[in-house]
Amino acid sequence: MTDAIRIPPRVERVKIGNFRALRNVEFENLTPLSVLLGPNGSGKSTFFDVFAFLSDCFSEGLRRAVDKRGVGLKDLRSRDSKGPISFEIAYREGYQKGEQRPPRITYHLEIDQDGGRPVIAQEWMRWRRGQTGQPFHFLRYEKGIGSVVTGDVPESEDQRAEKALSGPDVLAVSALGQFAENPRVKALRDFITGWHLSHLSAKDMRGIPEAGPQERLSKSGDNLVNVIQHLKERYPERLEGIFEALRRRIPQIERVIPETLPTGHLLLMVKDAPFSEGVQARYASDGTMKLLAYLVQLNDPMPPPLVGIEEPENFLHPKLLRELAEECDQATANTQLIVTTHSPFFINALTPQQVWAMMRGADGYTVAKRIADMQGIQAMLDAGAVLGDLWMENYFEIGNP
């Protein structure tokens, strides 16, 4: 008897208001792999930071998330704009393949200032049960005051509990999601706190950390050797698959070996042909280290529900990028990926539905459009063109280099 295939949770729509250059931007029909391209300053990194900011809000609190990005909310609010910063995410929870697809849930968050400090101006969750049901808000809060409908499938006739939070800067989902009586709220809290936004650094990967297996790659990748040790001990077949994928891309690389030093630290050794002994990771190329880290990240046995990768083309040979994009696409069987890129080689492996172009409009704010919604693109692809070439030759309606 085989294990049931699980469909991971998926973000389907993101709407942002008043967040830096993203004054009024909506991404509808996001695919499991969504890739953002556009010139420098177009807003790609800001969109990437939307996910990091929300994750920080849930894991570290609103005030800390704001302080990490400047001296106050004014540094996050779109320039020459007033009113709250808003985020709205429509998503579906994970489910077993063959089961009925769960209803789409919308989460809305508005952040404003009160007496110079950031507060939750408004926060709500709603869903529509069935095809003809009316949207129902089962959580609604303003500045720490509000209510939640408990239960696994909250309905309008169920009891609504009034529960004040400890302060106006506390997220209701973060606080109430700790209790089993609010399973839909808890699922969202677990979903967002599980997001992983990476900024891999080849320099950090060459460190010599203390020995000990670790399950997940850090944001910078400075524990790469610890994760390889974990895979070697618990998932040797998966690790061999990673090595095989690495050898296909860089044939001279035979194996990557974690070695425990007498000091109790771990040293990463790279064994390359035709030599009998490996070299320390600090002597391996940046491209080798980055590709190894991406393969480890994309083959996580228990992946995060959402992974963000920023500009994976850095330090990688252009010929490797199409294959890396294919690896990303395959990884979406178990997670969702958001990727930003400047590389036409990376998007050559993708469909127009997976790629979004971004640019600054005449008003200075970001405009975004999915490539599949641009006139004439699909016809040119059917005639033999590839996305990267069309982008480089300025065929996109927006976001051209």
Tens-digit pLDDT profile for residues 105-128:
999 999 999 988 999 999 999 998
Work out the mean pLDDT of the chain and round it to a whole number: 93
Task: Say yes or no: 160 and 185 in one domain.
Answer: yes
Q: Is residue 316 a part of any domain in this protein?
A: no
Distance, in Å, from the CA atom of 370 to the CA atom of 111, rounded to the nearest integer, reads 28
Residue type, 136: F
Decide which of 310, 339, 361 is a domain's last residue.
310
Largest CA distance in the chain: 72
- Whether 340 is covered by a domain: the verdict is no
Q: Is the pLDDT of residue 147 over 60?
A: yes
141 vs 258 pLDDT, higher one: 141
Report the alpha-carbon angle 329-333-201, nearest 5.
55
Q: Which of 65-69, 130-134, 345-349 has the lowest mean pLDDT?
A: 130-134
Q: Quick check: is 320 in a domain?
A: no
Return the bridge partners of 126, or none: 106, 137
Q: Same domain for 28 and 135? A: yes
**Tens of pLDDT, residues 195-231:** 999 989 989 998 899 999 999 999 999 999 999 999 9
Q: Is residue 141 part of a domain?
A: yes
Domain hosting 67: range is 6-195+351-392
Q: Is the pLDDT of residue 131 over 80?
A: no
* Amino acid 1: pLDDT: 42
pLDDT exceeds 80 at position 130 = no
pLDDT of residue 36: 98
pTM: 0.93
CA distance 13 to 26: 7
Predicted confidence at residue 155, as pLDDT, reads 79
Question: Alpha-carbon distance 36 to 285, whole Å?
Answer: 27
Peptide bond into 274 cis (omega under 30): yes
Does residue 401 lie in a domain region? no
Tens digit of each residue's pLDDT (9 = 90 or more) over 226-278:
999 999 999 999 999 999 999 888 888 888 888 899 998 989 888 888 887 88
166 — pLDDT class (breaks 50, 70, 90): very high
Judgement on whether residues 289 and 149 belong to the same structural domain of the protein:
no
**The dihedral formed by the CA atoms of 151, 152, 158 and 162, expressed in degrees to the nearest 10:** 40
Q: How far is CA 180 from CA 102, 143, 145, 175, in A?
A: 19, 23, 21, 12
179, 185, 181: which is closest to 140 by C-alpha?
A: 185
Could you report the per-residue pLDDT of 1-44, keeping only the tens digit for each?
456 789 999 999 999 999 999 999 999 999 999 999 999 999 99
In a domain, 322, yes or no: no
Residues 63 and 162 in one domain: yes
Q: What is the mean pLDDT of residues 165-194?
A: 94
Please give the helix or strand (H or E) that residue 94 lies within, else none: none
pLDDT at 180: 84
Considering the domain architecture, whether residues 24 and 169 belong to the same structural domain is answered as: yes
In this structure, what token pair is assigned to residue 34?
Answer: 């969504």
Contact 346, 316 (CB under 8 A): no
In the chain, what percentage of residues exceed pLDDT 90?
Answer: 77
Q: 355 - beta bridge partners?
A: 35
Residues 210 and 187 in one domain: no
Question: Same structural domain for residues 145 and 282?
Answer: no
Number of domains in the chain: 2
